[in-house]
Structure 1
Amino acid sequence: MSQQLIEQIKTIQLQPAKKVALAYSGGLDSTLCIKLLQNFYHTEQVLLINVNVGQGAVEIEKARTQASSLDLDVIHLDAEEEFLSEWVSKAIKANSSYGGYPLATAMTRHLIAKKVTEIALEHKCDAVSEGTTGKSNDQFRMRNTFELFGSGIRTIQPIREFDLSRVDEKQLAEYFGIAYYEAMFGGDDKTIWCRSIASGAITSLDQIPPDVWIWYVPIEQAKDESTYLDIEFSNGIPIAVDNKEMSLKEILNHLNTVGGQNGIGFIDTWEQDVIDVKSREFYEAPGAVIILEAHKNLERVCFPKDELRFKETVDSEWARLVFNGDWFHPLKADLDAFIDKSQEAITGKVRLMIYKGSIRVIECTSKYSLYKPEIRALQSRGFDQRICGPAAELKALPYRILAMRK
């Protein structure tokens, strides 16, 4: 079967590329791309570019080891801090959610493609390359970014161009002597913000092995007692947990652990992808789920009704753009400007109770809070209620007119 695949690939007319910069994770897709470039595009030099976006030291070392087995070096770029400060921070302010997905991979693919393009131009490469398939949303995210920053540099996407299924890829990996490991069919993609589990390869929860989770503890195995968290925000960004100031990285590491132990962070959603085809997607994101829930509640306390309604519309459009591969679109920058301005009022503290997969807001306080119990509470005399009589009469006037129509 492998030989048949090779013969099929040989019939495809390809333009050679002598020097190619490859977005390299060390997984099956990007590792196979090395051999495909060398054998069918006649590439003499493949620059492997591995970008740290918070996937962790273990994943980075796996990439180095895999490259070493092929007698190749890796150009490693550390973009974790940039990802947190310039990307995740924007995601928090925008309450990032595409059907419940916090948009992790959707962001990192833009960032990785930008870094790969910079290296390609610096080293005067003929092309840039990456290992997405024709069924992947990432093909759009990366291609858009390559086009924007690459000054017309050629893009090669071998897996898609050869129309390879995952089964085909595994056969070719064996043919070329590429070692790979997958805990699940389809692999996974991890960042400190969110982990994508075997994207598009799973149709039933029963297909997920119980030992696959990194942070999340299934509800039936989660702690039997409640955990309380105090999260403090400044201008929309979390700065402290339980009165201890931390960096965003420290906060996410802490909440991923604590949240996971309490059964928080499992996301199961039906996703409508860029080409409008549905897929069932699973994610693991305890820290993101907790932070976004706290942030949304703080906005509800601090925003006037019309600002909150409009912000929800902006957040939805922000998520759609990022998911569809438009992080660098001018409209996305315009939305960021509005969102950043709105966050000047999002400073305060949210107290949460988490228990076996549930999150409950206990208290939400801010110096910018528009909740005034001394005015609104039923037990108070915040204002003379009689002044609302004419207002209610005026509000009812259109209904009096509607009654006349009968």
Structure 2
Amino acid sequence: MKKVVLAYSGGLDTSVCVPLLRERYGFDHVVTVVVDVGQPDVDMAERKARAIADEHYTVDAKREFVEDYLFPLIKANGCYEGYVLGTAIARPLIAKKVVEVAERVGASALAHGCTGKGNDQLRFEAVFRLTDMEVVAPMRELNLTREWEIEYAREHGIPVPATKEKPWSIDENLWSRSIEGGVLEEPESVPPEEIYGWTLDPTRDEHPEEITVSFERGVPTEVEGKRLEPVKLVQTLNEIGGRHGVGRTDMMEDRVLGLKARENYEHPAATILLKAHRDLESLTLTYRQLQLKRVLEQQWAELAYFGLVDEPLFEDLNAFMDSTQRYVSGWVRLRLYAGSCRVVARHSPHALYSKDMVSFDTGGEPWHAEGFSVFHSLQSRIARRREG
């Protein structure tokens, strides 16, 4: 039996992949796998998969996603060109769970529904190609258009949410929601309000709200003094931030293949947590720690964006990030209003700040700085004199 395992989302691309794998590739047993990383309608995707595939599995990976992928991302302040890496950081985990199922059922091939123009094909295959199984990518290999797929799905009795009028391609997980397709591919177009599902229109926000987020060793643990388990914490902040329109991103993004793409994202919890975490670091890390960490954060973000989480350097960078978080504990208070997220207060028992030393209202011995100031610009002064 020629068996293939497909990473399945329930969307248009992966749904039409099922009959395509039979008709165009000759597989007589198609296994679908839905990996739950916090996306809605998992039940819907599972029902659809069971109706069109020969065998199906749903894997609950929400907690693993938060603890093993999002928490390291927060420690590294993971952000690529303003993108909080929601889809990027989830793909390797999804791919690994698909591989686990494929090995368990004895499949000879792995399949995904990514196109040849995006980044996800690389993220999936960076994991898939660690195995000896064949890798199949119908969307890329057959170069199909969205309109063709919609008609093909209708011909095969496959219900899909996309239409020619609203051809949005949406990907959601606990960390972010991405919206692509249609008029959104035009950089000069203004996104219609209907594309947003997590965030209120910022112009409709009437009242600001302040919240306090607590961290232990760089990991968020509490919201408003209430300790929450990891998945619930992210969900809670998505809800709170969303009702204030916090976490919308409309950007031009440099994809791995070199293409520039217009991308739209929603990520309330990510916006809140990354802003709070970075602020707490500024209170607890030294200047030189922060200076080097900002450089290495860019390296971390690029590897995550490229899907290279099995690159040895990624492991090394995570070890460095963990080391810097030893004293990143405390709380940060933020004000959310009309799409903005602003830090208004912070505290840490490990703060490097000293009010006695920095305040204008305290004494001390400021004359000790005179000797430092004499030598501070010494070489610059000598160089200027040399120049006449």
Counterpart check, 1:136 vs 2:138: no
Cα deviation 1:288-327 (Å, max 9, x = unaligned): 1001100000001111001001111111110000101201
Distance 1:93 1:358, change over 3 A: same
Counterpart check, 1:158 vs 2:141: no
Query: Per the alignment, in what secondary structure is the counterpart of residue 257 of structure 2?
Result: coil
Contact persistence 2:62–2:231 (CA under 8 A): no
- Counterpart in the other structure of 2:303: 321
Q: Which amino acid aligns with 1:257?
A: E
Counterpart check, 1:298 vs 2:277: no
Counterpart check, 1:31 vs 2:31: no
Q: Aligned equivalents of 1:66 and 1:341: distance in 2? A: 45
Q: Which residues in structure 2 correspond to 1:257-336 (within 5 Å)? A: 257-336=239-318
- Counterpart in the other structure of 1:365: 347
Cα deviation 1:89-144 (Å, max 9, x = unaligned): 11111111111211111111111111111111222211000000001100000001
Q: Aligned equivalents of 1:134 and 1:71: distance in 2? A: 24
Paired positions, count: 384
- Counterpart in the other structure of 2:153: 173
Contact persistence 1:199–1:281 (CA under 8 A): no
Q: Aligned equivalents of 1:169 and 1:64: distance in 2? A: 20
Contact persistence 2:18–2:52 (CA under 8 A): no
Q: Which amino acid aligns with 1:46?
A: V
Residue 73 of structure 1 and its aligned partner are, at CA, apart by 4.1
- Counterpart in the other structure of 1:5: none
- Counterpart in the other structure of 1:48: 32
Counterpart check, 1:215 vs 2:195: no
Unaligned 5+ segments in structure 2 are none
Q: Aligned equivalents of 1:122 and 1:307: distance in 2? A: 45
Residue 402 of structure 1 and its aligned partner are, at CA, apart by 1.2
* Poorly superposed stretches of 4+, deviation over 4 Å: 204-207
Contact persistence 2:39–2:172 (CA under 8 A): yes
Q: Which amino acid aligns with 2:201?
A: P
TM-score normalised by length of structure 2: 0.95
Counterpart check, 1:385 vs 2:366: yes
Query: Per the alignment, in what secondary structure is the counterpart of residue 262 of structure 2?
Result: strand
Cα deviation 1:173-206 (Å, max 9, x = unaligned): 2333322112742420011111111269533585
Q: Which moved more, 1:165-174 or 1:226-235?
A: 165-174
Contact persistence 1:54–1:80 (CA under 8 A): yes
Counterpart check, 1:84 vs 2:46: no
Distance 1:327 1:140, change over 3 A: same
Query: Per the alignment, in what secondary structure is the counterpart of residue 211 of structure 1?
Result: helix
Counterpart check, 1:394 vs 2:378: no
Q: Aligned equivalents of 1:265 and 1:154: distance in 2? A: 39
Q: Aligned equivalents of 1:153 and 1:71: distance in 2? A: 20
